[in-house]
Every structure is written in C-alpha cells, then in structure tokens.
C-alpha cells in the first residue's frame, strides 16, 4: 500500500499561513501540520489545531537566533507546545531543516527517542521535499502547479509511508518572508480536485501522523 502524509510547515507563523493550512486541510489534501511555538500566530494556530482533531500537529523547532544549550531549547519548545496544544506533538521536525546540523542532530534524535516521536528523515516515513515554488532563490510557480504535483505523486510515491512537505498560506502584510505568492499557489494546488483524483488513480491513501503507530504495528505483524 502507498500512504501519504501531507504536512504543512510553519503553522503559527502568521494569520494568513494559519488560514491557508486550515483551508488546505478542510478543502484539500493536507493532513498534518508543524507548529512554530514562538511565532506571532502560534496561539491562534494551536486553537485551530485543537478544533481539527483529524489534523496531526507536530513541533516545528526553530533554532534561528537561538544560542546556548540546544537540549534546553528543545525541551523549552516542547513544553511550550504542550502548553499551547494541551498535549504532546505527533511528530518532530524543524524550521529550514535545522535538525540536519551536525551539532543539533544528536539532541533531536535524543528528544525523538525519549518521547517516541518520528523525526523527519529519521523514521520509517520517507521525506519528500520537492513540492516547493523556488529554485536557487528564484520563483518558479510551475513547480507547485497541479500538473507538477500530479506528476510527482504518480512517479515518486512508493509503497510504504511518505511525507510530502508543503507551505500553503495567504499573503500576510504583517509577515515578512521571501516565500509569499508561492504559498498561495501551493494552496490552490493542494485544494484542486484533480489532485485527489490522481491519488485515487494511483491507490495512494491519505493519512496523518495520528495513524502512524497503528500502521507500523500492523506492518510488523
């Protein structure tokens, strides 16, 4: 079987991004999100996440401008997540994949082991990151078009569990980012009914991180 988790990064970054992620979940194929606990829209995102029980919500650790003890910072952000959501995260990843840094990765792996969390690129879930509207810092909206995503789903989703990362949202004048129009293009694509049709044609089943433990246990037996 082919299983697909569609995860929206940057949940909490702004009201426009929160609105886009929720819309992609309600009208499109997004099944999961990763929460920035210190961002301006984090409290709103947590409220929206709590009201959407089928949406798995993980911790999107942001190490930018953080200095000192990485272990302590991870623990602080995990505690902040529990304060916001009233529960622990369903998965663990990081802003701009900061967990890949050699000095940070051991702490992420340790946190993941302690709390039984799947860490992006270090779990049975394959990570697919090519649904992105920029290349070399330049905008390429065709990379997040319906046609391109349909082709990606057809050609790259294999048996097992895959996470497709995405960044849907609405342009928000209060949020400064070099990735704006691309978010709205992603949102349109994720909500296009042709994408669900492609998934059905290729027998790809949408799941969230809520389903992961049961799937892995079933596979083990």
Mean confidence (pLDDT) of the chain: 96
- pLDDT single digits (tens) 41-59: 999 999 999 999 999 999 9
Q: Domain total for the chain?
A: 1
- pLDDT single digits (tens) 154-190: 999 999 999 999 999 998 887 888 898 999 999 999 9
The b-or-e profile of 80-119 (16+ CB within 10 A means b, else e) is bbeebbeeebbbbbbbeebbeeeebbebbeebbeeeebbb
pTM of the model: 0.96
pLDDT of res. 176: 82
Q: Whole domain around residue 140: which residue ranges?
A: 2-220
* CATH, residue 84: 3.20.20.370
Percent of the chain at pLDDT above 90?
90
For residues 28-44, give the mean pLDDT.
97
- Residue 10 gets the label, from left (phi > 0), alpha (psi -120 to 50) or beta, of left
| Cβ-proximal residues to 79 (8 Å cutoff; 6+ apart), any chain | none
- Apex 141 CA angle, 139 and 142, nearest 5: 125
């Amino acid at each position: 079987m082919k299983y697909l988790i569609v995860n929206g990064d940057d949940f909490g970054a702004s009201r426009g991004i929160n609105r886009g992620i929720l819309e992609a979940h309600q009208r499109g194929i997004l099944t999961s999100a990763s929460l920035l606990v210190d961002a301006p829209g984090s409290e709103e995102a947590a409220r929206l996440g709590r009201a959407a029980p089928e949406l798995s919500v993980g911790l999107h650790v942001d190490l930018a401008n953080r200095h000192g003890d990485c272990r302590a910072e991870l623990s602080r952000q995990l505690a902040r997540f529990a304060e916001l959501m009233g529960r622990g995260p369903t998965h663990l990843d990081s802003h701009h994949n900061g967990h890949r840094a050699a000095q940070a990765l051991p702490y992420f792996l340790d946190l993941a082991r302690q709390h039984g969390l799947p860490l992006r690129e270090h779990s049975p879930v394959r990570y697919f990151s090519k649904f992105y509207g920029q290349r070399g810092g330049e905008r390429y909206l065709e990379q997040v078009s319906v046609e391109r995503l349909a082709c990606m789903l057809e050609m790259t989703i294999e048996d097992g569990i895959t996470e497709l990362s995405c960044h849907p949202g609405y342009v928000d004048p209060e949020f400064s980012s070099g990735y704006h129009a691309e978010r709205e293009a992603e949102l349109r694509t994720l909500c296009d009914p042709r994408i669900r049709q492609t998934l059905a044609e290729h027998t790809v089943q949408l799941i969230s991180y809520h389903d992961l433990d049961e799937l892995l246990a079933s596979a083990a037996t």
